[in-house]
Amino acid sequence: MRIYVDFDDVLCETAPALAVLARERFGRTVTFEQIHTFNLQTAFLLDENQYQELMEQAHTPAFLRDLVPIAGAISCLEAWLQQAQEVVVVTGRPAATHRVTQAWLSRHGLAALPVWYVDKYNRAYPATPDAPPFLPLPVLLQEHFDLVIDDSPMALDALQQRPAGHTIVFDRPWNRTYPCSGARIARCRGWQEVATFFRAL
């Protein structure tokens, strides 16, 4: 099978780290469970300058390298690789983060995974020398995946245009109201449920 796996808040605990960053930088006391929207400017009650500063800090190596893996993610992906499944990490991070992203994957035994940088959130990051291309979303939607795992309602909406394949909504506070009705979409509350869903396919 060909499997798409999102990075932030699917492989690693990015939002909890962002909540800490927002508290330290701007005095915003917002817990992980209180992040009810994917729009971080709204979630943390930031003005535009504060939001831009948060995003700049969130894409630095110092922030990204120490993100904690979500429980069960590494072992599940290792098992899929041992089964010769084709796993692709598809992230909305800017391609300029490629070096630290690869270092994180290597640190956790996943150096073999390819990483695609895709403009899933209409952010149009500039091209960076010596970095992979930042692909437009329509290019991604032309690719076939048997299984997609993502947490972003915006990305999930776009991915539902696929004519085939299954989708997992990786449960996070900001997608709790996302509809999961239909034979090809399911909500999973952690990687143990993801592994169970995969075995049933």
Long-range contacts made by residues 72-79, C-beta under 8 angstroms, separation at least 24?
72/190, 72/191, 72/192, 72/194, 72/195, 73/10, 73/11, 73/12, 73/191, 74/108, 74/109, 74/110, 75/191, 76/191, 76/194, 76/195, 77/5, 77/11, 77/110, 77/113, 78/109, 78/110, 79/195
Are 86 and 20 members of one domain?
Answer: no
Q: Give the number of domains in the chain.
A: 2
Residues 45 and 86 in one domain: no
Tell me the mean pLDDT in the region 193-201.
96
Q: Which residues of 32-43 are buried (b: 16+ CB within 10 A; e: fewer)?
A: eeebeebebeeb
Quick one: pLDDT band at residue 123, thresholds 50, 70, 90?
confident
pLDDT at 140 over 90: yes
35 has pLDDT over 90: yes
Q: Which residue intervals of the chain are DSSP H helices? A: 14-26, 40-43, 48-58, 61-64, 73-82, 98-107, 137-141, 153-159, 191-200
Residue 76 and residue 29 in one domain: no
Q: Report whether pLDDT(127) > 90.
A: no
pLDDT of 19: 97
Q: What pLDDT is recorded for position 95?
A: 95
Tell whether the model's pLDDT for residue 130 goes beyond 90.
no
**Mean of per-residue pLDDT scores for the chain:** 96
Q: Based on the fold, state whether residues 44 and 78 are members of the same structural domain.
A: no
Question: Which range marks the domain in which residue 46 is found?
Answer: 14-64
pTM: 0.96
